Amino acid sequence: MQVLISVLILINCLYAQTPYEIIRRSEEKIKGKTSYGVIEMVVSTQEFTRTIRMEGWWVGNEKALIEIKYPKKEAGNKTLKIKNELWMYLRNTESLIKIPPSMMLQSWNGSDFTYDDLVRETNLERDYDMRILSSSDTINAALTWKIELIPKPETPVAWAKIIYWVRKEDYLPARIDYYDERGNLVRYMEFYDIKVLHERKLPTRWVMYNNIEKGRKTEVRLIDIKFDIKINDRIFSLKELEKR
């Protein structure tokens, strides 16, 4: 097995690849053209641990619908994205709230993930300039490409810099660092427990570590996920959003 991995890494290195191609392949591995997933999110701090279970439907970076299933008091709350617009539906009050673009970087449901993360607003290939910093870094025992992403001029994105490590053997993401305009590392995400789900190899635990508030992190666990499936476009509508 190790020999096969070494051969695959060598083949990848023999072909000149741009950082854009590497990032594109890595993002496609974990997103697909469409996807549906059952996800568990665990928010941990020094004071408490909170678990949220949800279902999500995504169509590229264009559309997304996320519905909370647990805990019971939040079940039925939904987040909907259509292109550049975002809404939240709160079941208990039957209220529909439009989220302004300025809130895309705010915490989603008290987690270390933002609205932008959950609904995939940012397109890395479109919004960032990229360069390969290293081809020999090791993350969690995997040889990786280390790629720097800097926002393109006048592009309204969350982060002043992103460092993205991609595993050479299979193009899966290994780690992503997020920096603010002052050059501070605000948070970083590492990917664990690589498994095959519905014939696709991918990490099934994504842990976002908060580098500002020590002891705080949010773990996303992929309970089940399917890619490149047909999704009824009707679910991405305000009318459907308010249905139980």
As its CATH architecture, domain 2-241 has Clam (2.50)
Average of per-residue pLDDT values in the chain = 90
List pLDDT tens digits, range 14-44. Answer: 455 899 999 999 999 999 899 999 999 999 9
Residues counted in the chain: 244
Q: Is the pTM of this model over 0.85?
A: yes
Calculate Rg over the CA atoms of the chain: 18
Q: Up-side HSE of residue 90: CA atoms within 13 Å toward CB?
A: 9
Q: How many CB atoms lie within 10 A of CB 72?
A: 8
pLDDT at 3 over 90: no
Q: How far apart are the first and last CA of the chain?
A: 48
Check: CB of residue 78 under 8 Å from CB of residue 65.
yes
Domains of the chain, residue spans = 2-241
| Percent of the chain whose predicted confidence (pLDDT) is above 90 | 73
